[in-house]
Amino acid sequence: MIEDLIVVGGGPAGVACALWAHQLGLRVLLVEAGSAVGGLQLRSPYCNRWIPGLHGKTGQEVAASLQAHLKAAAVPHLVNFAAAKIQLSADHVGWEVSNERATHSALYVVIATGVKPRSEGFLESGRVGIGPGISMERLDVVGKRVAILGGGDNAFDQAAFAKQKGASCVDIYCRHAPRAQPILMRQVEARFVHIGPFRADQLSMSVNGTPYDILGVQFGFQVCIPGGLRLPLKDGYLDVDRNGAVPHFPRLFAVGDVTNYWHPCVTTSYAHGVQVAKSIQNELQLAQSMTSLPPASLLANAA
């Protein structure tokens, strides 16, 4: 059976889109590459202080609540389904989403595949963490010298967490003026923030020649785009219009961090998912109303 909508990606944006579309009466299937929905929240054992009404909940608890909501609302979804290819159907009426085992079809596809931490040549190891959350939490920083690379929110957050866990020294290296939120920057004394060009070497575990025990790579994120499509990018993210539609690709939408449409966070991802679900419902209702109109000749005779 062809669905009205397939949502590719089970982070906050994808779950919100699938949930709303399902409750608006559309036939929906959500597919997620990982073993559980939740997106980047699955990586976070920390309390997410930015989600209204969820004070004290960790990112992983937020992810679990998304899974529970899908189940309670009976939204059809598949995990461990990595969409290897997305393509127009042979008749160009709908879309096909495939992995090595199966193909699912729908009139609309929403790409909600989000982002992943940038590595920029570094490799995770027992002394190197890439991206925030569990990648850093698994490292033993007690009594260790730690260098955090990057100047965004996650760099300052991870520096503060390392210090709280007992690191003997935590330095931040950023090539340009820090762009983190002031509330996060206040967690780190200015004398430990080094601004300007730097050379970090994983082999020697050093930054500008200074040795460290642990390196935390916090260079931000890059988009994850399924195979089979060459899609328009803007500043490295999927380009979408105000409704979330991908220009020049009929019935293809994208939501959440993969688009960088709004400031990326859980709450904006929820809102973007809802917006796209409503946009698709409006398009389907318009198409149905047009096909239910009497033929033009009958309208002319009636006049």
Q: What is the pLDDT of residues 167-218, one digit of tens each?
A: 999 999 999 999 999 999 999 999 999 999 999 999 999 999 999 999 999 9
Task: State the pTM of this model.
Answer: 0.89
Mean pLDDT over all residues of the chain? 93
Q: What is the pLDDT of residues 110-124, one digit of tens each?
A: 999 999 999 999 999
Q: How many CB atoms lie within 10 A of CB 119?
A: 14
Q: How many CB atoms lie within 10 A of CB 132?
A: 25
Structure tokens at 71: 């189940």
- What number of helices (H) and strands (E) belong to the chain? 7, 19
Alpha-carbon separation of residue 42 from 20, 54, 59, 243, 300 (angstroms): 22, 16, 6, 28, 60
User: Looking at residue 303, what is its pLDDT?
Assistant: 39
Alpha-carbon separation of residue 109 from 73, 106, 282 (angstroms): 21, 7, 15
Mean pLDDT of 12-24: 98
Q: What is the pLDDT of residues 247-300, one digit of tens each?
A: 999 999 999 999 988 888 999 999 999 999 999 999 999 988 887 655 544 444
Closest CA to 217 of 303, 275, 139, 112: 139
Q: Measured between alpha carbons, how far is 203 from 195 in angstroms, rounded to an integer?
A: 23
Q: Measured between alpha carbons, how far is 96 from 266 in angstroms, rounded to an integer?
A: 28
